[in-house]
Amino acid sequence: MTRFSLLLAGTVLSAGAWLMPAHAQSTGDDSPLDHVDGQPPAEGTEGVPAGEPVETEAPNAPDQQAAFPDQSRAPQPAELADVTVETVADALPRLWSMEFLPDGTMLVAAKEGALHIVSAEGEAGPAISGVPEVDSREQGGLLDLALAPDFETSGRIYYTFSEPGEEGNHTALGTAVLTADEAGGGALEEARVIWRQTPSYEGNKHFGSRIVFSPEGNIFVALGERSDDPIREMSQDLASTLGKVVHITPEGEPVEGNPFIDQEGALPEIWSYGHRNIQSAALDGEGRLWTVEHGPRGGDELNRPEAGLNYGWPVITYGLEYNGGEVGEGITEQDGMEQPVYFWDPVIAPSGMALYEGEEFPSWDGAFLIGGLVTTGLVVVHMDEAGERVAFEERIPLDARIRDVRVGPDGAVYALTEDAGSDSSTILRLTSAD
């Protein structure tokens, strides 16, 4: 069993004291919610021996079968990491994302629509000016952050947010030059929106989103399908960017060679489609995009989105509707639609994702670290030698909803928590206890 030394506000916490709420599913907003119910997942504190699946709870959809071995409930690795956790910043506004700046400070995005720079001492500077207006109701707000590959010389950043408009709201991708000041704040200069999701919709859920730069310097934006029925079926509509991964240039234009760029009636920026609500995305060691999306009541999915492929939602899916009924026809496979590489039932409620490459946790090298909103910790996904399927899964309980995760310049892992009740966040630093 993983051993944990927790140094949170000077208190050592007992793993046996960590409990999940009875209602534990989530689509990305506050958990629990009245419309969100289902079987709670394992946290990683259950004492399951190495070599056995960490998930021991019953699935929400017990009659559904995986399409291939270890597509779900992969075993834990033979040796589990020993982790020490300490708080490096607390009493922060409720945050959604974070990025390390070259000087070791962090740029963080507050859901309500503010950017701050957090010092190496864990202090948040004044709000940065020039941030656009956001619709922060429910799952909306200022969302993901990414530094341009040439940030050290250009100072350019990219950010997604739920942008209000005359016909509702939508996810937008903005860019600006970040200029810091001596007071620990700064300004966004030359701020502009370079891409907008279509169509707009008067809703407050499933905005996605994550920003990932490709090795070529172009941008993947991973999105949601706005949740409601009807509207979610537009995930299958190539004339819409709901429920899609889009592939655009740093100026917001479709990338040449995109799969639908010459197809009549299809939007040229679309890379892949049939997604539900992606809030985790990262490149692997070969530069390939991987995503994790929120499923319904069961059915969170790990995918490797490939050009032009259909990932099925809402035609095929694992899991159930929140009311316990079948999603559509209740099928999990169909010709022309991709299977997830891995799925979770019960869900983990993913948010944030990083590829671990470092010396602090040698056993995690090449693994994906995924934030868990309802597992209240990190989910560590170890890939097989070919890098195509999941070999092992382990969970690092942190007793908090994890909204984002990053690997720091020191090789440690940093997890961003959120507490909707107090409208606040903390930043945790994970190091090896060995």
Give the integer Cα–Cα distance in Å for 301 and 315: 14
pLDDT for residue 227: 97
Edge-to-edge, what's the strand order for the sheet holding 186-196?
142-147, 156-165, 168-180, 186-196
Q: Note whether residue 302 is domain-resident.
A: yes
pTM of the complete model: 0.93
Q: What is the residue range of 33's domain?
A: 4-9+25-75+90-348
* Percent of the chain scoring above 70 in pLDDT: 91
Q: How far is CA 4 from CA 8, 17, 381, in A?
A: 12, 13, 19
Model confidence pLDDT, tens digit, residues 77-102: 999 999 999 999 999 999 999 999 99
Structural domain total, the chain: 1
Q: Note whether residue 45 is domain-resident.
A: yes
Say yes or no to pLDDT of 217 above 80: yes
Model confidence pLDDT, tens digit, residues 320-337: 999 999 999 999 999 999
Q: Note whether residue 415 is domain-resident.
A: no
Mean pLDDT of 233-255: 98
Across the chain, what does the average pLDDT equal? 92
Model confidence pLDDT, tens digit, residues 331-355: 999 999 999 999 999 999 999 999 9
Residues 6+ away with beta carbon under 8 Å from 62: none
pLDDT for residue 371: 98
Say yes or no to pLDDT of 3 above 50: no
Q: Note whether residue 221 is domain-resident.
A: yes
Say yes or no to pLDDT of 219 above 60: yes
Say yes or no to pLDDT of 13 above 50: no
Say yes or no to pLDDT of 28 above 60: no
Q: What is the CATH number of the domain that holds 111?
A: 2.120.10.30
Mean pLDDT of 281-293: 98
pLDDT for residue 37: 55
Q: Note whether residue 108 is domain-resident.
A: yes
Per the annotation, the verdict on 35 as an active-site residue is no
Say yes or no to pLDDT of 31 above 50: no
Q: Note whether residue 418 is domain-resident.
A: no
Q: Note whether residue 207 is domain-resident.
A: yes
Query: Which of 35, 116, 170, 206 does the annotation list as catalytic?
Result: 206
Mean pLDDT of 350-378: 96
Q: How far is CA 324 from CA 21, 228, 296, 319, in A?
A: 19, 16, 10, 9
Tokens of 33: 């919610």
pLDDT for residue 38: 79
The least confident of 31-35, 210-214, 237-241 is: 31-35
pLDDT for residue 46: 87
Q: Note whether residue 236 is domain-resident.
A: yes
